[in-house]
Structure 1
Amino acid sequence: MPPIRRVRQHVNPLSHKYAIPAIAPDWSEIFANPHLPLHLDIGCAKGDFVREMAQKVPDWNFLGLEIRAPLVERALIRRNLDRQRNLHFVFCNANNSLKPLLENYPSALQCVSIQFPDPWFKKRHQKRRVVQPELVSTLATLMTAGGKVWLQSDIETVCQEMCDRFDENPAFARSSSHQNAQHQKAQHQNVQWLDASPFPAKTDRERVGEEKGLPVYRAMYFRQGLP
């Protein structure tokens, strides 16, 4: 593993250094079977969630996108050491790289997760948040009908804003099943947050929050039938 160096917790995705879209690799060289269904994790950080998912769900491919290059470098080294042929990581700005990365992908994009994204609390910085209308529109063009989008955050206003962006796009419909026992509702909607992740792996933030008894706000969206 390369020596550990300090990695900035937040980077500005609107900076010119992140303006160049990523280039799609030859997916047949990346994945042992590129025709397996694909799970995309946007903002994967160190990649521990998708790494564990790739181990536990070998009949899927997993792709993590992360804007902090050192985290991607270390994740790829570990992926190679573990010889995980259903896992890959890409250093990129998801807001300008989804289409060039996946528009010619050989299989269906069936699942997307966006978990604990940078909150960018100041109002003038909220345009830096990852879930923007353009990103949702791009996902709508890339995903297969019935595909799932999983959203979660430990900050209710952040998760609600992500939900607002998906609510605005008619291609997506929110799941209302499996509500939690506490009936914890969004502040300005008569909608309950989901109680738990459907995945057999958890992010570090999710584990820490649960250990401390802190709330995590969760929602699922489905890509509706294509015209």
Structure 2
Amino acid sequence: MLLGVGKMKHAYAATASVAAECIINGMKKKNNSTFSNSLLSFSNKNRNLCVSPSCSGSGSGSDSDSSTFHQASSPNIVASEYADLQITNTLSVGRVGHVRIRQHVNPLTAALSAPVEVPDWNQIFPDSTLPLMVDIGCDLRTSGSGRFLLWLAKKSPQTNNYLGLEIRQKLVDRAQLWVKELSLSNIYFMFANATVCFDQIVSTYPGPLTFVSILCPDPHFKNRNRKRRVLQKILVDSIVKNLRPGGKIFVQSDVQEVALDMRNQFDAQSDELQHVDYDDAVDQQEQMCDGERWLLRNPMGIRTEREIHAECEGAKIYRRMYQKK
């Protein structure tokens, strides 16, 4: 059952507040999910499942059981799945340690529509010829951390470079602080409006663009604000133009209408893109998509923070993967 716009907006604000204010408890459970050289893995091993009643679909149980379930809800699960990063002690380091998250930023302002200064890639990355993955939004909207991209960068320090594009300067500052704390040299967070600056930024990168992700972007529910959504035709065209043949695009949202909007825009590029149902490393007989061809599982080896929060509230995640022909 789909939530109404009002309830959905309330749910977004609530989960953002929980994620922003919680203090990560430093759980040390090892995450054995693998991040393959192809940037994809449908491995579901050692994935921490939300055990709250809303996620399990069970409404039974005593009040004490329910309390126990909710104690193991999304903040603790996020901490557990991202324990390998060991960034607990950096939460309060520096002046950008705690940031109040603004739910929606207007990307149409003059400041965010202006061209950006393209970085010197040889100064950013030790090897700027490595394949590049770009994450648009960086999962910073809901948690203020960007741990998803940090986790990927830590798993593949020698094989890929990672670029996060985000329009909230303070959140970029904090993510860069964590990059420094983790001593990672293959990842960079950049303050930029990807909708209008993607081509300007990525076209100058010396290596190949092999992967682009747009994960749970700002929904901008009101009809008059849909032009503020990150995925507009100009961005779709820029991604397809710069992506190398065989490169992949991964989109997902916990808002069906937003997911359908992204899906329709990339489906319209059928001359250049094809939908990916299966990963080569997985038995082809295993079902990877539902009846509407949404991917049933996250293929990246780890869930994003927003994804965990949404699933713990019982929401469905709508996922779609594309590959350039």
Amino acid at match of 1:49: F
Gap regions ≥5 residues in structure 1: 186-190
Match of 1:107, SS state, is: coil
Contact preservation (8 Å) 1:180, 1:193: no
Q: Helix, strand or coil: the match of 1:151? A: strand
Correspondence for 1:208: 309
AA in 1 matched with 2:129: H
**Is 1:180–1:195's contact at 8 Å kept on the other side of the alignment?**
no
| Residue 148 (structure 2) aligns with | 49
Tell me, in whole angstroms, the C-alpha distance in 2 between the residues paired with 1:183 and 1:99: 31
Q: Larger radius of gyration, structure 1 or 2?
A: 2
What residue is the counterpart of 1:2 in the other structure?
95
Whether the aligned pair in 2 keeps the contact of 1:56 and 1:200 (CA below 8 Å) is no
TM-score w.r.t. structure 1 length?
0.90
Q: What residue is the counterpart of 2:297 in the other structure?
A: 196
Residue matched to 2:276 = 175
Alignment of 1:159-174 (within 5 A): 159-169=259-269, 170-174=271-275
Q: State the alpha-carbon separation in 1 of the partners of residues 213 and 288 from structure 2.
A: 24
Identify the match of residue 130 of structure 2 among 28, 36, 44: 36
Q: What is the DSSP-based 3-state SS (H/G/I as helix, E as strand, rest coil) of the residue aligned with 2:212?
A: strand
Instruction: Give the TM-score taking structure 2 as reference length.
Output: 0.64
Distance (whole Å) between structure 2 residues aligned to residue 23 and residue 101 of structure 1 = 8
Task: Give 1:128's aligned residue.
Answer: 228
Counterparts of 2:127 and 2:257 in 1: how far apart (Å)?
39
Q: Identity rate of aligned residues, in percent?
A: 38
- CA distance in 1 between partners of 2:208 and 2:123 (Å): 18
Q: 1:119 aligned to 2:212?
A: no
- The DSSP-based 3-state class of the residue aligned with 2:181 is helix
Contact 2:136/2:212, CA 8 A, preserved across alignment: yes
Aligned partner of 2:268: which letter? E
Question: Which structure: greater helix fraction?
Answer: 2
2:197 corresponds, among 93, 97, 106, to 97
Distance in 2 of aligned mates of 1:94 and 1:222: 20
Query: 1:23, 1:100 within 8 Å by CA — same for their partners in 2?
Result: no
Identify the residue that residue 23 of structure 1 maps to in structure 2: 117
Q: Which moved more, 1:100-109 or 1:198-207?
A: 198-207
Distance 1:144 1:223 in 2: 7
Q: How does 1:151-166 map to 2 (within 5 A)?
A: 151-166=251-266
Distance in 2 separating the partners of 1:8 and 1:150: 25
Which structure shows the bigger proportion of residues in strand conformation?
Answer: 1
Q: Is the 8 A contact 1:180 1:192 kept in 2?
A: no
For structure 2, the 5+ residue unaligned runs are 1-93, 280-284
Matched, 1:77 2:177: yes
**Contact 2:278–2:288 at 8 Å: present in 1 too?**
no
CA displacement at 1:22 relative to structure 2: 1.8
Q: Is the 8 A contact 1:7 1:70 kept in 2?
A: no
Post-superposition CA distance 1:101-136 (Å, at most 9, x none): 111211000000100001111111111111111111
Contact 2:277 2:288 in 1 (8 A): no
SS of residue matched to 1:125: helix
- 1:70 offset after TM fit, Å? 0.5
Worse-matched range after superposition: 203-212 or 29-38: 203-212
Cα contact 1:174–1:221 (8 A) shared by 2? yes
In structure 2, distance between residues paired with 1:208 and 1:180? 27
C-alpha displacement of 1:181: 5.7
Residue number in structure 1 paired with 2:11: none
Aligned length: 219
Letter in 2 for 1:53: L
